Structure 1
Amino acid sequence: MPTTVISHQAEAPVKESHHALKVAGLLLISIGLLGILVASVGADYISPVLTGLGGTLVLTMGALLYIWQSRQYKSPAEQNQGMWQRQATSRGASAWVIGFVLTGFYVLLYWFPDTLQGLIQAMEPLSQWLRNRPSDQWFLYGTFYTLAVLVMGVYALLKYRTSRYHIIRTLSVMFFQLGFAFLLPGLLLLFNKPEYYFSYFWPLKYDYLFPGTVDYLIRDGAALGVFMVFWGAVFSFLATPVLTYFYGKRWYCSWVCGCGGLAETAGDPYRHLSDKSRKAWRWEVAIIYPILGFVILTTLFLWINSWSEGRLLGNLSGGFAQTYGFFIGAMFSGVIGVGFYPLMGNRVWCRFGCPMAAYLGLLQKYFSRFRITTNGGQCISCGNCSTYCEMGIDVRWYAQQGKPIIRASCVGCGICAHVCPRGVLKLENGPQENRYAGSPLIRRDDLRILS
């Protein structure tokens, strides 16, 4: 008994210290948000660099402090505790507020960038240092996007720190976002080369194989531009099928892609909100494959029009490109794809709209070694796997029957295996022979105890 009393007395100051640091983190977050707000509306009265860039740095430090104190002392069993009891992660009032703010930011970014001039000016020193160019709306967006992936990447690292697979996967998306999608494009501009994102390929970055973009890269980038065109073509049509054959679509969707990187980090608290109904699956199939077909037709029409010097299709191909850019490139991937995180889960764009996901999914389902195997005999039907599947797959249905999970939509994030308390699920790259064969189950009728 005395030992227990002493133990509780020793824990009290530690808990008080953790609480104080969490409060300090929240205070820094509040100050940072205030600075960003002042930069947005008061750039004519006070330096936006001081308030905006300074506020961003303070917000980042506060978020890291709060995340560290909130996650490092939680056991693996507690990491998802209370997700459906918090308003922010259960479509409550605060979730709607967050969704409205995210959606509003994307609307302003795409169509009313003048309203963000204070924040754009706030990033001027960083833009000049990295790119030797004035800051613009896309540099502001890239900065915020990268910070979101890095800060919430720390959140994911702490949350899944018991899994080597998830640690490496999270570090991978953080590396590709910071290095390939932020620093490298900026450095290319610094040396007066074409801005290029080496971690994005056609059809996701749909205009990279449009004739106008190819002509611009070759003309302005000289030898480097030729390499960029070669890089994009090789990865779109050669490397992608080969890598998907060996590893499934996870090599890109969960390890490299910036959209997936944001979903796996900043979107992780919302993964359980994905719709698991069969109706949602029908909508998924009905939307994502026509979008892939749309971008294929658009690319073909543009090349036909380019080769015929506009004689065959006239303005039709340009209209296709503009339509796709507005409805898919802006509205779907940005406004809905990220803005609806708190309401529809973190993979709305990846699941329903991404043409790259559709392309990879077809390869994964019919031409890949990847599968998630299940040991149905150990499944206790707890439902954790289905609950936390961000792509809306009813994983439990497969696990109960011992069937391997081979779905075009599966991004191989591995969370279903991580949250399974019995080790029923396993990500594997096996031979294609008997790929759909399930694990043998012992059924009640197979037992002949009395005979």
Structure 2
Amino acid sequence: MLHLATTSAQPLATPVPDTSLAERLWLSVVSLGLVGLSVAAVAPTLLRDTAFWLGLLLLSAGTLGWSWLKFGRGPAGVRHNYLWQRGSTSRGVVAWLTAVALTGFYIVLYWWPQYLENLIRPLDGLSQTLRRKPADQWFLYGTFYTLAVLLMGARAYLKYRHSPYHRVRTLSVVFFQLGFAWLLPGLLLALQKPEFYFSYFWPLKYDYLFPGTVEYLVRDGQALGVFMVFWGAAMALVATPVLTYFFGKRWYCSWVCGCGGLAETAGDAYRHLSDKRRGAWRYEVSIVYTVLGFVVVTTALLWLNTYLGGTLLGRLSDEFSRTYGFVIGSVFSGVVGVGFYPILGNRVWCRYGCPMAAYLGLLQKHFSRFRITTNGGQCVSCGNCSNVCEMGIDVKQYAQRGEPIIRAACVGCGMCATACPRGVLNLENGPRQGRYQASQLIQAESLRILS
């Protein structure tokens, strides 16, 4: 026991290096920006706007400056250095404080937005210019969300600039978040049309195929509204299966989706925290497909209720959608999905709660041409691939056996292939025949040896 205690007290063989003076200066600018936003949240009207915009400017400049210093000047690529020794990335005090702050913001945003008035009102001018209406809590949230993707997208671009795949992927999620999830819905409101997100589809945007939403879009949007309904239905029921057949779920989860965009940019530092244990996988399967089933059943019941003139569910039809919106749309995707980044990893929502990820996953596993091929003969079992997998897949186990990785959870981010020092892993869109060929050959060889 004494020996164990003595051993555990020994210092690290390679201690965590001290933060450089330049890095501290940039992080201080970030901190001043957060202080400015905090002051704006409680300041009187005369000081509010100045503190808000100054805080936002300092936060943006500090983040970009720190990103350039940290990732733009040195070699590009995946870096595992000291991730499990730093408090910010190893569920330490800094990580828990960050999680509490993010969770607290989401709780206030969803249920007590009146306490955010001082942060909402400075955006009135921008909202009037873009949407022709005053700012509200959702415009504040959308602006902060988009800014996070832009700033941390610059960080991701600098960090993985050596990889054409990651450069294009990062630019793609930034483009769809800025253009399709922030600018375009605002312009639709300015034109007095229904707010509509062309980059979100059923079942993720679950109400887009609800009877009430369809009626609202057709009534208020007229010809454009009819196109919105067609777009939503066609993307969910036709384009999604076709695109997933050719490219796997990565075409959406890693290239288009705003949830995935935030995870791949702002959440990149936490990807190694995803639970790789088999028990976590069991929870994942049981929860995410339950959520998908709930959306499918709710949508079907609402349409049946509408067809029967409301005699099937009556007022319960509204309760179905409200229940889902509160439990899944607010608590899970917002409070837990983003607030728990520093504790559970950056794809908590995508892994355990997103119905679109479940839908895409079923298509990917059973019908898609996409897979990650491996060359077990070159694997050195370093574990880099498993460490960077944000979806909790123990990639190393597949690589050691030379088996292709065909998992419903895989979002095709490609980070495992990027982190591999031997080029063992490759993302491919090959013919469906032979997807399991490597594993089948191994099983056949094992049976031959045993017999």
TM-score by length of 2: 0.92
Once the two structures are superposed, residues 294-327 of structure 1 have per-residue CA deviations (whole angstroms, 9 ceiling, x without a partner) of: 0111111111222222112112222211111110
State the 1:29 CA deviation: 1.5
1:302–1:47 distance in 2 versus 1, CA, 3 Å: farther
Q: Residue 38 in 1 paired to residue 49 in 2? A: no
Once the two structures are superposed, residues 255-303 of structure 1 have per-residue CA deviations (whole angstroms, 9 ceiling, x without a partner) of: 0000000000000000000000000000001100010000111111111
Once the two structures are superposed, residues 125-159 of structure 1 have per-residue CA deviations (whole angstroms, 9 ceiling, x without a partner) of: 21111111100000000000001101000111111
Q: Which amino acid aligns with 2:410?
A: C
| Equivalent residue, structure 1, for 2:254 | 254
Aligned equivalents of 1:397, 1:406: Cα separation in 2: 13
Which ranges in structure 2 are unaligned for 5 or more consecutive residues? 1-18, 447-451
Aligned equivalents of 1:268, 1:358: Cα separation in 2: 22
Aligned equivalents of 2:269, 2:230: Cα separation in 1: 38
Aligned equivalents of 1:333, 1:419: Cα separation in 2: 28
Counterpart contact for 1:173–1:257, Cα < 8 Å: yes
- 1:53-132 aligned within 5 A: 53-76=53-76, 79-132=79-132
- Cα RMSD between the aligned structures? 1.8
Counterpart contact for 2:78–2:418, Cα < 8 Å: no
1:384–1:232 distance in 2 versus 1, CA, 3 Å: same
Q: Which amino acid aligns with 2:388?
A: Y
Counterpart contact for 1:375–1:439, Cα < 8 Å: no
State the 1:39 CA deviation: 1.2
Q: Residue 356 in 1 paired to residue 356 in 2? A: yes
Counterpart contact for 2:78–2:419, Cα < 8 Å: no
SS at match of 1:46: helix
Q: Which amino acid aligns with 1:284?
A: E
Once the two structures are superposed, residues 2-22 of structure 1 have per-residue CA deviations (whole angstroms, 9 ceiling, x without a partner) of: xxxxxxxxxxxxxxxx95653
State the 1:97 CA deviation: 0.1
TM-score by length of 1: 0.92
State the 1:92 CA deviation: 0.2
| Equivalent residue, structure 1, for 2:26 | 25
Between stretches 20-29 and 226-235, larger displacement belongs to 20-29
Q: Which amino acid aligns with 2:319?
A: G
Aligned residues: 427
Aligned equivalents of 1:90, 1:431: Cα separation in 2: 40
Counterpart contact for 2:77–2:160, Cα < 8 Å: no
| Equivalent residue, structure 1, for 2:7 | none
Aligned equivalents of 1:441, 1:355: Cα separation in 2: 34
Q: Residue 200 in 1 paired to residue 197 in 2? A: no
Which ranges in structure 1 are unaligned for 5 or more consecutive residues? 1-17, 447-451
| Equivalent residue, structure 1, for 2:299 | 299
Q: Which amino acid aligns with 1:176?
A: F
Counterpart contact for 1:49–1:124, Cα < 8 Å: no
| Equivalent residue, structure 1, for 2:139 | 139
Once the two structures are superposed, residues 58-95 of structure 1 have per-residue CA deviations (whole angstroms, 9 ceiling, x without a partner) of: 21111111111111122246733111111000000000
State the 1:367 CA deviation: 0.6
Aligned equivalents of 1:151, 1:384: Cα separation in 2: 26
Q: Percent identity?
A: 65
| Equivalent residue, structure 1, for 2:395 | 395
Between stretches 161-170 and 121-130, larger displacement belongs to 121-130
| Equivalent residue, structure 1, for 2:229 | 229
Once the two structures are superposed, residues 315-370 of structure 1 have per-residue CA deviations (whole angstroms, 9 ceiling, x without a partner) of: 22222111111100000000000000000000000000000000000000001000
